[in-house]
Amino acid sequence: MTMERQEKQRSFGFVAPALIWTCAFFIVPFVVMLLLSLAHLEGREIVQSFDLGNYVKIFTEPSLLKGIFVSLEITLTVTVISVLLAWPLAWIIATQVPERYQRLAIMLAVLPFWTSYVVRSYAWALVLGQNGVVMQSLIGIGILDEPIQIMATRGATVIGFVHFFVMLLTLTIYSNLIQLSPNYARAAADLGANGWNTFRLVILPLTLPGIMTGAFLTFVLCIGDYITPQILGGNNELTMPQLIMLQLGRRGDFPMASALSVVLMVLVTLAYAASSRWLKMERV
Amino acid sequence: MKFAIYSGMGGVAALLLSTAVVHAAGELNALVWCDHTDPELLEPFETAHDVRVNVKEYEGTAAGLAILNQSRPGDWDVMVIDTVDVGRAVDEGLLAPLPSDELPTSEFFPEVVMPDNNSRDGVTYAVTEKFGYNTIAFNSSKVDAADMQDMSSLWSGKYDGRIAIYDYYLPVLGLIGIEQGVATADLDSDAVEALRERTYALKAAALQVSDVVASQTALATGEVDILIGGGEWVTAVLSAENPELDWSVPSQGALRWSQSIAVLEGSESKDLAVEFVKYITGAEGQARLATSSCYWGMPANKAAGEALSDAQKGALRWDEQADYLARTQLYPVPDADLDLAMQDLWTDMLQQ
């Protein structure tokens, strides 16, 4: 056996566990899901027919098609709002908070992560309710005469999501910001740039990897989330994960659930393709 | 190529079951609804028979049958099932005959013995244990109780934005049908389609469509004042803290739910399983089951009344059962195609 061959075998030995893991827990299940998405339901039985009927139905049946748009609208809204809130927060922590307190500030920022996801959503349901602390405070200080409806609306879903994802984005943007040398801002100032231009032309572009990494994670987690819209949205519009759960839990329509899942994966892949040029994990 | 849908569902179920079912001597494995997991219900039987009752919760007959299909014969001894679905389990050969002469059905409310559902060819396969109503639950301090006697008031506009709809298509579509004068037994695909606009209109008047927990929370916190599909199973358990929560069976009628208990054909502890069925349907077990911490409901056995307090019987509307039983209908029992049609309508309604 030549040295080269031995070296190849040793390399494969190192890679094999990850390869087997990926095959067993991603590629094989995905292929099964893909095949199942080409089947269809007859009565209570699944018939493996290898046709695109489920996909045609997704894009022609209004209630299913609407699920795609609802998911995209909510996810994009959450992502944009979370970035707009997280960047200033991360910047304040990275540049205005003394270094010895930054760890504490970050810990406080991510404190809500320590709470169970379901509990946090139910807590928001109570906070946003007509008799909740937000509405009663607004009425108490005279801003509102009577409660307005937030709970069981898309707004409640967005608030619940933003609360969670601002923390995530703050982490990715903060870790990007603290790697930036202060000399970049000084050099820009030396060259005559004012504060706005320094931010717009120097700092912001340099934090794009942190922003895009956080935004991509937000997109992936948000578009695949079932709990938050289910608890806070009041079932008044269904996102794709809710539609998938309906197919699985109630209809027993595994082929349609698989087809919806494949469409969801395609959307995530498209989001990755759109943001991949900025996804530089080593910068985050 | 065809294969039973349950084999697909079984993937999930098998994972759940792989560590769950270990049958040991002195143990009884019961596939149940959440009201049977109350330790106060199980403890007297466990003590009396020096046995441990292992319970596994499930929701929906399809899920229960899927679990059984993925289990080995003998894994499960007892099963709780919708009374209207007992026939499905009998068809699949899952249930064992019960000694009808040893069951206290003579003490039951006659309407809930339901031999057409619990028996086949004169053989008893299950026995009704608890029943109640899917109707209108409401906050009596905020809603005119007289309006709740007429289901059409929900569409009047008076309560827009103050209504929650229980997120279960069978009882709610059944209720809408009853409001439209269609008996649940007459619901077919055409009749279901005819309910579409009425269903959409109800959704437009509602604040939310929610599961049991979210519905209870919304009603208890004042987020909504009316729950369509609710009943004593929602309000009775909250009656001590929220005495203003009430429920009614409107003039048009309502739906009656009913659950049965059965012994599984594959059980290797049939005698013990029968004893468990006798305990659950006896006066003491019935009283405990009726007031289970998960949800309350009427005991099938009238003898349980002696073990319930006046307040508990009041919350269950004990004295009005004769009237309610006469005016309520059983759940729709759709075949596979009608079931999918009803679910399609429900999904369309949710996306309105």
Q: Tell me the pLDDT band of B13, cut-offs 50, 70 and 90.
A: very low
Interval B263-315: pLDDT, tens: 999 999 999 999 999 999 999 999 999 999 889 999 999 999 999 999 999 98
Measure the CA–CA gap between A199 and A193, rounded to whole angstroms: 9
pLDDT in the model for residue A267: 97
Query: Which among A42, A43, A152 has CB closest to B207?
Result: A152
Contacts B62 to A, Cβ<8 Å: 44, 252
Q: Do A131 and B62 touch (CB under 8 A)?
A: no
With beta carbons less than 8 A apart as the criterion, state whether B178 and B255 touch: yes
**Looking at CA atoms only, how far is residue B129 from chain A in angstroms?**
25
Rounded to an integer, what distance in angstroms lies between the CA atom of residue A257 and that of residue A251?
10
What mean pLDDT do residues B57-72 have? 81
Q: Does the pLDDT value for residue A45 go beyond 90? A: no
Residues of chain B positioned with their CB less than 8 A from the CB of A45: 2-5
- Inter-residue long-range contacts of B8-13, CB under 8 Å, 24+ positions, other chains counted: B8/A36, B8/A46, B8/A252, B8/A254, B9/A252, B9/A254, B9/B62, B9/B63, B9/B66, B10/B66, B10/B69, B10/B70, B13/B63, B13/B66, B13/B67, B13/B70
The better pLDDT of the pair B184, A113 is held by: B184
Task: Name the average pLDDT for chain A.
Answer: 91
- Percentage with pLDDT > 70 across chain B: 93
Q: What 3-state class would DSSP assign to A66? A: helix
Range A147-151 contact pairs with CB under 8 angstroms and sequence separation of 24 or more: A149/B161, A149/B207, A151/A125, A151/A232, A151/A234, A151/B208, A151/B223
The tokens describing B94, both together, are 């899952």
Note the pLDDT of residue B18.
Answer: 39
pLDDT in tens, B79-121: 999 999 999 899 989 999 999 999 999 999 999 999 999 999 9
Which residues of chain B does A48 touch, with a Cβ-Cβ cutoff of 8 Å?
Answer: 1
Which pLDDT score, from 0 to 100, does residue B141 have? 95
- Confidence band of B25 (pLDDT split at 50, 70, 90): low
The conformation of residue A180, written as its DSSP 8-state character, comes to S
- For B269, other C-beta atoms within 10 Å of its C-beta total 21
User: For B183, which DSSP code?
Assistant: -
Residue A102 resides in a domain: yes
Band of residue B23 on the pLDDT scale cut at 50, 70, 90: low
Q: Per residue in A101-111, pLDDT tens?
A: 999 998 888 88
Q: What is the pTM of this model?
A: 0.83
Structural domains counted in chain A: 1
Give tens-digit pLDDT for B133-170.
999 999 999 999 999 999 999 999 999 999 999 999 99
pLDDT at A219 over 60: yes
Q: Tokens for B283?
A: 């006066």
A 106-125 → B contacts, CB under 8 A: 122, 125
Return the CATH number of the domain spanning residue range B132-255+330-350: 3.40.190.10
pLDDT at B3: 36
CB contact under 8 A, A252 and B221: no
Q: Quick one: pLDDT band at residue A281, thresholds 50, 70, 90?
A: low
Mean pLDDT, range B246-271, rounded to an integer: 96
> Is residue A202 situated within a structural domain?
yes
A2 CB burial (10 A radius; 0-12, 13-18, 19+): exposed
Indicate if B132-255+330-350 has the same CATH topology as B9-131+258-320.
yes
Q: Which fold has domain B9-131+258-320?
A: D-Maltodextrin-Binding Protein; domain 2 (3.40.190)
The domain in which residue A186 lies consists of 69-283
Q: Which residue of B has its CA nearest to A246?
A: B347
Query: How many angstroms separate the CA atoms of B333 and B320, rounded?
Result: 26
> Where does the pLDDT of residue A5 fall: very low under 50, low under 70, confident under 90, or very high at 90 and above?
confident
Residue B110 per-residue DSSP state:
G
For chain A, the distance separating the N- and C-terminal CA atoms, rounded to the nearest angstrom, is 43
pLDDT digits (tens, 9 = 90+) for A142-198: 999 988 889 999 999 999 999 999 999 999 999 999 999 989 999 999 999 999 999
Identify the CA nearest to B231 among candidates B187, B168, B184. B168
| CATH classification at residue A187 | 1.10.3720.10
In whole numbers, what is the pLDDT of chain B averaged over residues? 90
Q: Residue range B188-209: average pLDDT?
A: 96
- Residue ranges of domains in chain B: 9-131+258-320, 132-255+330-350
Residues in A closer than 8 angstroms to B2, CB to CB, are 42, 45-47
- Residue A53 lies inside a defined structural domain of this protein: no
Chain B within 8 Å of A151 (Cβ-Cβ)? yes
Kindly report the number of other CB atoms within 10 A of residue A206's CB atom.
Answer: 16
**Cβ contacts of residue A104 below 8 Å, gap of 6+?**
none
